[in-house]
Amino acid sequence: MSGKRVNYYKHVGKAAEHLMAIETLLEQTSLDPRLLELIRLRISQINGCSFCTSYHTQVLHVLEETPERICQAAAWEEAPCFTAQEKAAFRWAETLTKIADTRFINDELYQATLDAWGETGISELTLAVGMINTWNRLGIAFHTDHAMIDQLVKAKQAELAGV
């Protein structure tokens, strides 16, 4: 990594707080928390965001996701540990993340995702993908300090424990 970067949170803290409020709302949607984290992990892998990849991997451990599913997120399409519905979510998430490659979501993919998730699910999934892509861009641009991960994971553990 190169030299120290600006602490973006210091300059856009209010906006980041609003992003966190959206994340809190996403945690209350119909999306399974483990799948939501797996999607966040996979998108972070695609985007090359080491901060988010590390953080979401650790959150998945806190959520007691299996090591197999965490490792296989990178190869979800061929992994037998994911359901057809989960694979539809991964396919949708990857296509949205790589949309610059095609600038197009074909009707077949849209319909397959809609069939797998319904109107609410596809809408929630799309918002979740947009959010992790936003965090990835911030993390990559500003080389978010990995020292913050432990604190964030502890906060997630406390949240899940109802503390």
CATH of the domain at 48: 1.20.1290.10
Percent of the chain as helix, strand, coil, to the nearest 5: 80, 0, 20
Selection from 110, 133, 134 nearest residue 122 by Cα: 110
Q: Is the pLDDT of residue 102 over 70?
A: yes
**pLDDT average, residue stretch 8-34:** 93
pLDDT at 2: 60
Is 148 part of a structural domain of the chain?
Answer: yes
Q: What is the pTM of this model?
A: 0.92
Is 122 part of a structural domain of the chain?
Answer: yes
Categorise residue 63: left if φ over 0, alpha if ψ from -120 to 50, beta otherwise. alpha
Q: Is the dihedral of CA 117, 119, 124, 129 positive or negative?
A: positive
Give the chain's domain count: 1
> pLDDT confidence of 101, banded at 50, 70, 90?
confident
Q: How many whole angstroms from its chain centre is CA 140?
A: 14
Is 88 part of a structural domain of the chain?
Answer: yes
How many whole angstroms separate alpha carbon 89 and alpha carbon 4? 36
